[in-house]
Amino acid sequence: MSAQTRAWLATVAFATAGLAAFIFVAPSTRLVWPEAIFYGVIVLNTFFSIRLFARISPAQTYQAVVDATLVLCYIALALSLGTPSAFPFFALCIFIAAPLKYILMLGETPYDKLMKRKLFIELLGTALCAFALLGATILDYPLASAWVLAIVFSLANIYLLLIRPMYHL
């Protein structure tokens, strides 16, 4: 299956899961809106990420295990929409699992510079999600944390998709 096809399949599946969770599962609270924005942006970003990295990722068992873990994390993230501590927790899980993919690719492709940039970006996402989880749980500011997460992540993606594109060789 081509990288483009894999990217479209994953994007449609994650978007469908998010939309279904938003309509049928998520509680009707103000918290659901910033989380839905974050979810939509991460799914958009995932399309470009899969489209690029599926072309250069070595066909190794460990990559399939990380990919399967990420799929489960995305589904859990969708199902946790509107839940104050679960949503930032599962967002953090994505940003803990994803760097493993790029760490394991270091030295396996001729694109180490790209892998290091992607790894740095993923670690920034990890810090952002950890901050959101801290704000939502320990500091007890779930709505403010959710909005910070949505806004900062959206701005970062504008930068990474339009200003200084990440997803090209």
**Tens of pLDDT along the chain (169 residues)?**
899 999 999 999 999 999 999 999 989 899 999 999 999 999 999 999 999 999 998 887 888 899 999 999 999 999 999 999 999 999 999 999 999 999 989 988 899 999 999 999 999 999 999 999 999 888 999 999 999 999 999 999 999 999 999 998 8
Question: Under the phi-then-psi rule, with left for phi > 0, alpha for psi from -120 to 50, and beta for the rest, what region is 78?
Answer: alpha
Which pLDDT does position 117 carry in this prediction?
95
Read out DSSP for 58-123? Answer: ---HHHHHHHHHHHHHHHHHHHTTT-TTHHHHHHHHHHHHHHHHHHHHTTTSS-HHHHHHHHHHHH
Which pLDDT does position 111 carry in this prediction?
93
Which pLDDT does position 59 carry in this prediction?
80
Which pLDDT does position 62 carry in this prediction?
82
- The domain ranges of the chain are 3-163
Which pLDDT does position 58 carry in this prediction?
80
Look up the pTM and report it: 0.94
Which pLDDT does position 57 carry in this prediction?
86
